[in-house]
Structures are given as structure tokens and as C-alpha cells.
Structure 1
Amino acid sequence: MSKNMLKFVSLEKQMPVKRGAEARREDFNEIYDEFTPKKAKEQASRCSQCGIPYCQVHCPVQNNIPDWLNLTANGRLEEAYELSQSTNSLPEICGRICPQDRLCEGSCVIEKGFESVTIGAVEKYITDTAWENGWVKPVTPVRELEQSVAIIGAGPGGMAAADQLRRKGYQVHMYDRYDRVGGLLVYGIPGFKLEKHVVERRARLLEDSGVTFHLNFEVGRDATLSELREKHDAVVIATGVYKARDIALPGSGLAGIVPALDYLTASNRKGLGDAVPAFESGELNAEGKNVVVIGGGDTAMDCVRTAVRQGAKSVKCLYRRDRKNMPGSLRETRNAEEEGVEFVWLSAPKAFLGDDKVTGVKAIKMHLGIADSTGRQVPVEIEGSEHDLDCDLAIKALGFDPEELPTLFDEPELKVSRWGTVAADPLTQMTNLDGVFAIGDIVRGASLVVWAIRDGREAAISIDKYLKNAAAPKSLAS
């Protein structure tokens, strides 16, 4: 073992410098600075190089974390990058947005006594350094194959599948309803967590690697799933889940009550320089308003922190459980509190108040009762505890469900679960339709970016096996 490791007993855990709350409230730039080379080495050297690397075990893509920490601690950054990207198609993105406190860092064996290694920040540093030094290069397959694969959805799962399929030499065509590559990485996640140039350079890399993009292309409108199957030798459904969950309460039809994704998309498009009439009109703009966000996941955290940056008068997050039971990242919750967000714990909405436009939310206090079959305590209303919150803009961040793909894709034979997710073999990712695979949230339900990346990479392996056993290739897509 290198003498540069096991420094956790003498070096404290440090994150990269975080900009002050007042400064970061003024823009949508990422809030953490980059590690200096010295700090990256120091923090990587805190790794204990344990015999059973739980950080790797609990990483969905099985990153070789102890090994690239060792390489970083010894100044061998190009090798660290090569090892990192060998298991992860989007390492610089996972380093920024993965909930490390719930995955790798939360599983670090030194966590209890010495605090975990800052794995995510080191991963980000390794890959950003690789980009800066020109170590990240387009894919050049050893042999070009004639068989083509269509990927429906240019989000993280689709991008990971495209990367791996191009490495194997397949002709890859990505179809997406939006005008940019990245899906929720571009339109759902705010810039203060993931600046858009990070996604754009990865999209350019895929294009330089030979991936063909068909943007503003909606399956079901511009072509049916059946037509794509005729055109390509295999198809991957990687659409994600975009149908917002709703809440049926008195006053739900009032103006000023909006879904989280509509709100975040408007903000991100504005930041990208697009014309956004709903933002300019104030409909999806929090400036000067009392904002109430309903929900406790990462999307809710994105909404409250976006509202702060838009100049909201006040921002409250209404959540029916307590801090300990919140599904979102605790790190994000702390960042939101620093920026001025008020959390109204153990409270749930009962009604929206107002005549034509929302002016308030009637909430009721909750307490946590006995656990249900999942092990989580069930929130129970406290009778007589209703209270009103001022509200000019209510944002519903209640999660997402799948769209009705058999109808949307004009493919009634496509099998879905009782929840509407696409039914796919857990080992091969193939659906009930021959040569049609499905990955990511459209199979799992709303989940993490890193799980979509894993699914995309594993689907590429299954598709390769399938196509090697298939008949002659179909005509190349135009």
C-alpha cells in the first residue's frame, strides 16, 4: 500500500470551498469551488484502503473508488481518470449531483469516527482536470458495425448507453423531444448544482464520437415505435418519467399553483437564453412572491433554492414528515437553510386559499404514527392544528409518474406494470417486444441519475449480445 494513504487519522475531512450564502443567492453558478491539486491529494489520501470497500459496494456503477483515490493521492491523475471513466460514463456529473451522503460517502468505513472521504468532490476534480488537459477524447471504435440502435431519450441513461454502444462500433441514433441533449440534466436540475456547459461538452463528445442526434423529435408524433423498430436493429426506451404527481385539494384550480418541473424548466431555459413567455409574465417567476413548495425530495430542494435566487420575498418548504425522514439529500437541505429557506416540518397542505389566484395555503400539523409495511412512520393529522401560510406561488414537488407509453408511442403491445412503468427483464433489460430494451426511470420509477447510467451501460452489453445473434443488419438510418 502507498505510504500516502490512511491519512484520515491526521487530516480532517474538507469539502472544496463553498461560496457564502449571500453571494450564491445572487446567481445560478455552482456553489463549490474546485479542489486545488494539493487539497485533492490530501483528501484522497484519507482513504483507509479497507479490505471490503463499502463505498464501491454501495455505488450503483461499482466505481473502483479506493483505487482512483490512491492514484489521486499519488499524483497519477490521468490514470485516476481512466479508471474512473471505465465504470462511469458521466463521472463529472455524478461527482456533482449524486447524493454521496446516501451512497458512497455514507458507506465509508471511517465515517463513524473520522468522517468520510470526500469521494464526490475528488471524482469531480479528477474528471474536470481530465477535460482541462485534453485527456477526454471521442470514442474511436476498433471496427465500425453496420447494425444501428435507436435510443429514445437523450438523458443520462440514454447518454450512457450511447457511449458504450459506440465503443462497440454500433451506429447510434438518439431521438429526443427536446431541443438539447441531456434531459433533466439540462432542464430539471438547476445550474447551482450542475452548470449546463458540463452537460453540453459531454453531448459534443458523443456527437464527435459518431452519435447522431434527432432533436425536437417526438416518438408517436414524428414516428411510431413500430417505425423505429423497422428502421433500426434494436431500440432502447430511455424516456425517464415526466408526468407530475398531483394533489387533489380545495382550491387546486387557482392560478399560481404550478408543477415543479414546469417551474424548473422555465428557470433553466431562461438561464440558457431562451425566450420564456411564462417566466416573463411572472407565472413561473418567483420574484417578489411568497413561495410555498410542497414536498421533501431533491426536486423540492431544487425549487426552493431556485426561488431564493429569483428574488422571492419568502420561501417555505412544506413537508409532512420531519428532517430525519426527509427523502432529499441532507446536504441540500443544509444549503437551502443557509440561503434563507424556511422548512415547515410535520405539516401538510389541506387547501389552497384565494379567489382567482392563490393567496395562501391552509396547512395542518402532523405527527408520525406507527410504521407501515415499508418501515416508515405514517404521518397523522393533529386535529385542530390548521394554520395558514401566505402564498403567491405554490409549487407542487410531489414526484413523477410515467407517461402512458403504449398510447404515446402508438404501440399497444408494449407491456407495462400496474404503475405504468415499462416491464423489462431485470437481467437483459429487454421488454416483451423483440429487440426493444428499456432502462432508467421508465423501468424503475423516479430514481437517481447514477442508476440510469448503470442501466444504460448494462443495456449496451445486452444489446451487443442480442445483435451478435441477430440476422443481417437493417438499412442504416438516414
Structure 2
Amino acid sequence: MAERMLKFVTTPRAMPEKRAAEARAGDFHEIYADFIDAKAREQASRCSQCGVPFCQTHCPLHNNIPDWLRMTAEGRLEEAYRLSQATNPMPEICGRICPQDRLCEGSCVIEQSGHGTVTIGAVEKYLTDKAWEQGWVAPLVAGEARGQSVGVVGAGPAGLAAAERLREFGYAVTVYDRHDRAGGLMVYGIPGFKLEKDVVERRTRRLSEGGVEFRLGFEVGRDASLADLRQRHDAVLIATGVYKARDLELPGSGSAGVAPALAYLIASNRAEFGEAVPADLDARGRHVVVVGGGDTAMDCVRTAIRQGAASVTCLYRRDRANMPGSVREVANAEEEGVLFEWLAAPKAITGDALMAAGVHAARMRLAAPDATGRQAPEEIPGGDFEVKADLVIKALGFDPEDLPDAFAAPDLGVTRWGTLKTDFRTLATTVPGVFAAGDIVRGASLVVWAVRDGRDAAEAMRRYLESQAAGAAARIAAE
């Protein structure tokens, strides 16, 4: 092992080749090429095999990263893949879209020592793409039939992760989703230059071929109530995510030309399936301003570039160091021609009700830290400025929809933030037999956390269903 590993001192960090900004800004294909075999082995060999693997502990799924890096360096690729997917049902997706700079790679010991992190995400992507290419990805095999069924509301990462695990346990699983394709935000929210759609589709196809039933274009509250689903199934999982956009409460925010981020991204992603982009959501030839600083804002600015916008500006009220979006995504956006206005906040949308014409913004500064250490932005007097814009995209984050009302389930408890209230240990909601997982419980978060929550929910539901089955058997025996 020592001969093949710990090469971080002599071997520099290297990512897969990135397409030139001018070339990639004209399409929605992924921007990184694949590692060649030798390069993947070389980069995996940089792992220090440290005694306390912080990369693993800071991964929400606790992937056994050091071991599959060692196997990759040794050329044991199939073994490495099988180890990586043992804890992660979507390793090629997480390898593409996880903010590794904030999770595993950001916690890498050799990164802390100044040698540059191991390129964990790129190796993970390489391994799973190689597995699909070589036929190492095994079909989903259902466990012995238990005679019980589960309904999963939401075909996003939490719902799909739970559905796979529940099917492996032997339950009949039906996934309901209001969209016409499974995948949730992985299909309609995340642009193709970060996650091409066939990568998601082959995962959902594997679930379908393994016996998971998909009911698409099905909206709970319209096509059935939550009570109806409880009648159909022995247990129900709510994994809807959070889709309600936070609004800009500014003068002119209701003008034509002001759009929520998700509506904009869904329209663009639908175009990848051959649908036309609505004229009011097409950035071609327009001056675009995106308000926000998270990963969704980065998706919007980079999408606008690819649609052929005349200019793209991102307004964020804090500075670069305090931006919540991935550092890597910010760098990619800058390379592609996005202008960032740091420490800037909108005060009004100019123009008229028929069409926005610009954004009236204020210069900001960070105040002294509060008790939590967070510096709140405050306006600099006399620092107002104008940005030309005929398409303003609101990327301020997402809140939960009112599910008790939408699902006709007034007894479905929510927190003061509107997320579903669940028992911390069992993940059960206030409605018997109904569980919840993912963003609808924790708030808007990462795909990898949704996957973790979905798998945890599946385990909790298995325990519940086994207790229900044991109770029914005891009652029959007593009769």
C-alpha cells in the first residue's frame, strides 16, 4: 500500500480537463472531461490514508472514501466502485454536484497541510461512469415480498433513495410525482452543464426495472388526498422538497420581466428535452440580473450565459468570502463572463408594470459581528447605483409549501418554518403511518443530505412496518 499511496508530496493535485469557457458557454454539456484511467489512479494515490479520515466523517453519507481511493490507486476499480455505492445509491450524481469544497475535499487532511486536496468528487464520478460502461452496476433486486406497500410522494433524491432501499427490503413501492419525469430538481432544477439528464434517467430506469412503480403527473391534493394514499398503502413517505420561492419585497418586483429562479431553470431544462423556452423566460439578447448568492443563483447566471444573454450580473449583499454558493461554481461563472457585484443589494426594480428596465441597487458593507459571529450587511449612504436589466431572476432561496392545506391534511404538523414536524428518532410525522424526509424536513439543502435522509427514512419505515405486521399476526393468533 505504501508504494502506491501518500504521493501528495510528489504528485500535484489535478482535476479532469475543463473545457474552455468560450466553448462551454455555448451549450449545456458538462464542463469537465472524464479522467483517463492512469490519471484517476495517479490522483487517488495522493490520499494520505490518514488515521482519522475527516473526508469520511464530513460526508453526510459517511462514504468509505480512503478505502475506495486506495483500491482505485491499485487498479481494483470494480471493488472500488462496489465500496463507493455501498453507502451511496447515486455516487455518479454526488460526484458531479456535491459541493466537495465544502464537504469531503474541504476536510481533506492534505488540503489543510497546503498540498491541495485529493480530487475525491472527480474520482467518484470516474468510478461510477466506468461501472456503467463496464456493466458493473447490478440491477435492483427486490427482497422477499412482505405483502405490504409504501407510497412515496416526491421523485427527488430523498424519495428515490428511500424507494430503492424499501424495494430491497421487499416492499411494493409506488412513487408519486407532479412532474412528467422522475428526478425532481436533479432533472428540472440543476442545469445540464452540472448534471446531464441521461445520468439521472439511467438511475430512475434501474428503479423502474427493479419493480418500483412511478405515477408521474400525479399531484397529491389534486389527484388524491393524503388520506387516500394512506388507504392505498401501509405507510407513506413525504419527500416533496421545498419549492416555494422567497420573494423580492421591493417596488416594481411584480413587473413583467421579474421571474423566480425555479421557473426559469425548469423552463431551460425542459428545453433540453426538446420543448420551447417561453419567451418571458428566455435570456437570449437580454440584460440579466440575478439576485442571490447560493448555488441556485450560480445555476441561473451560468444558464443565462448559455442562452445568449447580452450581459449577466449577479447581485449579492455580502462579499465573496461570505457567499454561500460553491467557490468552484463562482469561479466557473466568472470564467464564462458573469459580472459579480459584491456587497450590493437591490432597492427597487425600475421600468414599469409591462417590463422591467433595470435594478436600482445600494452598496453595502458588513457591520460588526453579532453574538453568533455573523456580520450583517448594512447600506452605505449615498452608494446607490443602477444596473440595466430586462430580466431579473429572484434566487433568494426556497421555503416549504403549505402541505397541510395542499394535501387536505390539517393534522399534518409543521414547524414554525413551515417544514414538516417529525420525530427525530423515527422520522414519523404527526399523522400515523406517514413519514417525511429530505428538504421538506430540514429545509432547502443539498442532494447528498436528501439521499442520506431518504435512506434513514427507509430504515425507520421498515421498523414501523415490521411492528405493524407483527401486531397483526399477534391479533390473528389471539383470535
Asked if Structure 1 and Structure 2 have the same fold, meaning a TM-score greater than 0.5 normalized by the shorter chain, the answer is: yes
* 1:104-119 equivalent positions in 2, closer than 5 A: 104-112=104-112, 113-119=114-120
1:422 aligned residue (412, 420, 423): 420
Alignment of 1:288 with 2:285, yes or no, is yes
Partner of 2:100: 100
Partner of 1:204: 205
Partner of 1:21: 21
Partner of 1:91: 91
Deviations, residues 86-140 of structure 1 (Å, cap 9, x unaligned): 1011110000000000000000000032010000000000000000111112221
Partner of 1:342: 339
Could you tell me how far 1:427 is from its partner in structure 2? 1.9
In 2, the alpha carbon distance for the partners of 1:473 and 1:271 equals 50
CA contact (8 A) 2:182 2:204 kept: yes
Could you tell me how far 1:252 is from its partner in structure 2? 1.1
Q: Which moved more, 1:136-145 or 1:336-345?
A: 136-145
Gaps of 5+ in 1: none
1:371 aligned residue (369, 372, 375): 369
**Per the alignment, in what secondary structure is the counterpart of residue 317 of structure 1?**
strand
CA contact (8 A) 1:25 1:309 kept: yes
Partner of 2:461: 463
Partner of 2:132: 131
In 1, the alpha carbon distance for the partners of 2:2 and 2:143 equals 35
**Per the alignment, in what secondary structure is the counterpart of residue 281 of structure 2?**
coil
Deviations, residues 290-317 of structure 1 (Å, cap 9, x unaligned): 1000000000000000000000000000
Partner of 1:304: 301
Deviations, residues 257-287 of structure 1 (Å, cap 9, x unaligned): 000000000000011112x4xx34x200000
In 1, the alpha carbon distance for the partners of 2:452 and 2:398 equals 20
Give the aligned residue type for 1:252.
S
* 1:18-57 equivalent positions in 2, closer than 5 A: 18-57=18-57
> Identity of counterpart residues, as a percentage?
65
CA separation of 1:233 and 1:2: change in aligned 2, threshold 3 A: farther
Partner of 2:264: 263
Could you tell me how far 1:473 is from its partner in structure 2? 11
Could you tell me how far 1:144 is from its partner in structure 2? 1.9
Alignment of 1:322 with 2:323, yes or no, is no
CA separation of 1:136 and 1:100: change in aligned 2, threshold 3 A: same
Give the aligned residue type for 1:217.
F
In 2, the alpha carbon distance for the partners of 1:396 and 1:286 equals 14
Give the aligned residue type for 2:14.
Q
* 1:38-77 equivalent positions in 2, closer than 5 A: 38-77=38-77
CA contact (8 A) 1:41 1:73 kept: yes
Deviations, residues 46-81 of structure 1 (Å, cap 9, x unaligned): 000000000000000000000100111111111111
Could you tell me how far 1:2 is from its partner in structure 2? 4.5
**Per the alignment, in what secondary structure is the counterpart of residue 283 of structure 1?**
helix
**Per the alignment, in what secondary structure is the counterpart of residue 8 of structure 1?**
coil
Could you tell me how far 1:472 is from its partner in structure 2? 7.6
Could you tell me how far 1:141 is from its partner in structure 2? 2.8
Give the aligned residue type for 1:409.
F
**Per the alignment, in what secondary structure is the counterpart of residue 272 of structure 1?**
coil
Residue correspondences, number: 470
In 1, the alpha carbon distance for the partners of 2:445 and 2:372 equals 17
Deviations, residues 426-457 of structure 1 (Å, cap 9, x unaligned): 22211111211100000000000000000001
**Per the alignment, in what secondary structure is the counterpart of residue 253 of structure 2?**
coil
Give the aligned residue type for 1:294.
V
In 1, the alpha carbon distance for the partners of 2:405 and 2:58 equals 37
TM-score (norm 2): 0.97
Give the aligned residue type for 1:20.
A
Give the aligned residue type for 2:255.
L
Partner of 1:11: 11
In 2, the alpha carbon distance for the partners of 1:236 and 1:374 equals 35
Partner of 2:220: 219
Deviations, residues 211-240 of structure 1 (Å, cap 9, x unaligned): 000000000111110110111011100000
Q: Which moved more, 1:197-206 or 1:135-144?
A: 135-144
1:390 aligned residue (383, 388, 391): 388
* 1:349-360 equivalent positions in 2, closer than 5 A: 349-355=346-352, 356-360=354-358
Give the aligned residue type for 1:231.
R
Give the aligned residue type for 1:385.
G
In 2, the alpha carbon distance for the partners of 1:47 and 1:464 equals 37
**Per the alignment, in what secondary structure is the counterpart of residue 7 of structure 1?**
coil
Could you tell me how far 1:3 is from its partner in structure 2? 2.1
Deviations, residues 7-41 of structure 1 (Å, cap 9, x unaligned): 10110000000000000011000000000000000
Partner of 1:413: 411
In 2, the alpha carbon distance for the partners of 1:197 and 1:141 equals 24
Q: Which moved more, 1:184-193 or 1:426-435?
A: 426-435
**Per the alignment, in what secondary structure is the counterpart of residue 303 of structure 2?**
helix
Could you tell me how far 1:471 is from its partner in structure 2? 3.5
In 2, the alpha carbon distance for the partners of 1:376 and 1:306 equals 31
**Per the alignment, in what secondary structure is the counterpart of residue 140 of structure 2?**
coil
In 2, the alpha carbon distance for the partners of 1:368 and 1:471 equals 58
CA contact (8 A) 1:186 1:196 kept: yes
CA contact (8 A) 1:19 1:32 kept: yes
TM-score (norm 1): 0.97
CA contact (8 A) 2:142 2:211 kept: no
In 1, the alpha carbon distance for the partners of 2:57 and 2:222 equals 42
Give the aligned residue type for 2:72.
T
In 2, the alpha carbon distance for the partners of 1:444 and 1:374 equals 21
CA separation of 1:373 and 1:299: change in aligned 2, threshold 3 A: farther
CA contact (8 A) 1:148 1:473 kept: no
CA contact (8 A) 1:2 1:70 kept: no
Gaps of 5+ in 2: 473-479
Give the aligned residue type for 2:212.
V
In 1, the alpha carbon distance for the partners of 2:428 and 2:92 equals 29
In 2, the alpha carbon distance for the partners of 1:258 and 1:432 equals 35
Give the aligned residue type for 1:88.
N
